Amino acid sequence: MSNAKVALITGSSRGIGATTAKLFAESGYAVVINYQHSRNDAEQLKQEITDMGAACIAVQADVSNESEVTKLFLAADQLGELSVLVNNAGILDTQARLEDISAERFKNILEVNVLSCFLCTKEAIKRMSTNHGGVGGTIVNVSSGAAKTGSPNEYVDYAASKGAMDTLTRGAAMELASEGIRVNSVRPGLIYTDMHASGGEPNRVDRLKEKIPLKRGGTAQEVAEAVLWLATDKSSFVTGSFIDTTGGL
Ligand code: NAP
């Protein structure tokens, strides 16, 4: 059991989640890393964070599955009192037009990107809410600029899932404000991670970067800094809000 505040970051074996986990560790948090498949990456990150002197565990759990989410939060309880939940786990599928997206694919995207956020938020409420004897906390949802653009011709399913996540952010923020829980969101734009390879185009950020007003892609660190700010008392009067880390797009 650690005396440090505990931050649980879903989908933190790679990309934005992994960078966020490291930033929270550097900022004095005990960190719960979560992953689905990338055990080696997660264990390596755990070692890095432990070497920094922070408490850390890595827990395998598919966050779209209710019983696995229960298991994840029970494991997190072993580390200490949960202060921060970052709903970061997310997927996209290959670029396709709407009429070529199957119902099965659409459901899977919604389950991994939205149902996961809903299930993890429920578990966090049970631990953080003053209604349940908790001392409050913060939740940060990693959405996407796609929630506003709709991602036509690429991933309308993914964009719709992020739109749903944004509505969840607003609703949860209003419902939980009087119970000591702030809920906010970061909406990244084109960020250099492996996610674009999952969409079938590893170099997508470089192809599109000239369309970004700042004329470059973003880094995972630039997203993580916004997540950290929303999670800490530095943003103590902010709830139900969105930070677009999109370079102006
Ligand atoms: P990434 O590099 O592909 O990493 C995705 C992470 O999510 C991995 O750690 C993966 O774990 C985990 N994950 C996926 N499905 C999971 C599940 N069912 N249960 C638990 N973990 C799961 O993606 P990223 O670019 O860092 O994206 C992180 C978040 O930022 C996502 O929500 C994404 O939608 C959002 N975002 C990214 C961009 C961008 O340009 N990169 C832009 C806008 C928004 P495993 O490796 O173990 O499967």
What pLDDT shows up at residue 198? Answer: 87
Residue 137 lies in a domain: yes
Residue 213 lies in a domain: no
CA of 81 to the centre of ligand 1 (A): 25
What pLDDT shows up at residue 199? Answer: 85
Please indicate whether residue 29 is annotated as part of the active site: no
Average pLDDT over residues 224-242: 98
Give yes or no for residue 2 having a pLDDT over 80.
no
Quick check: CB of 161 below 6 Å from ligand 1?
no
**SS3 track for the chain:** CCCCCEEEECCCCCHHHHHHHHHHHHCCCEEEEEECCCHHHHHHHHHHHHHCCCCEEEEECCCCCHHHHHHHHHHHHCCCCEEEEEECCCCCCCCCCHHHCCHHHHHHHHHHHHHHHHHHHHHHHHHHCHHHCCCCEEEEEECCCHHHHCCCCCCHHHHHHHHHHHHHHHHHHHHHHHHCEEEEEEEECCECCCHHHHCCCCCHHHHHHHHCCCCCCECHHHHHHHHHHHHCHHHCCCCCCEEEECCCC
Residue 145 lies in a domain: yes
| CATH number for position 61 | 3.40.50.720
Quick check: CB of 191 below 6 Å from ligand 1?
yes
CA of 214 to the centre of ligand 1 (A): 24
Residue 200 lies in a domain: no
Residue 202 lies in a domain: no
pLDDT digits (tens, 9 = 90+) for 169-223: 999 999 999 999 999 999 999 999 999 998 899 999 999 999 999 999 999 999 9
Question: Global pTM?
Answer: 0.98
Residue 195 lies in a domain: no
**Domains contained in the chain, number:** 1
Domain range holding 11? 6-189+220-245
Average pLDDT over residues 59-68: 98
Most informative mutation of 31, 36, 168 for ligand 1 (most atoms within 8 A of CB): 36
Quick check: CB of 90 below 6 Å from ligand 1?
yes
What pLDDT shows up at residue 146? Answer: 98
Q: Which of 35, 155, 158, 192 is catalytic?
A: 158
Residue 60 lies in a domain: yes
Residue 44 lies in a domain: yes
Average pLDDT over residues 154-174: 98
pLDDT digits (tens, 9 = 90+) for 3-31: 899 999 999 999 999 999 999 999 999 99
What pLDDT shows up at residue 167? Answer: 98
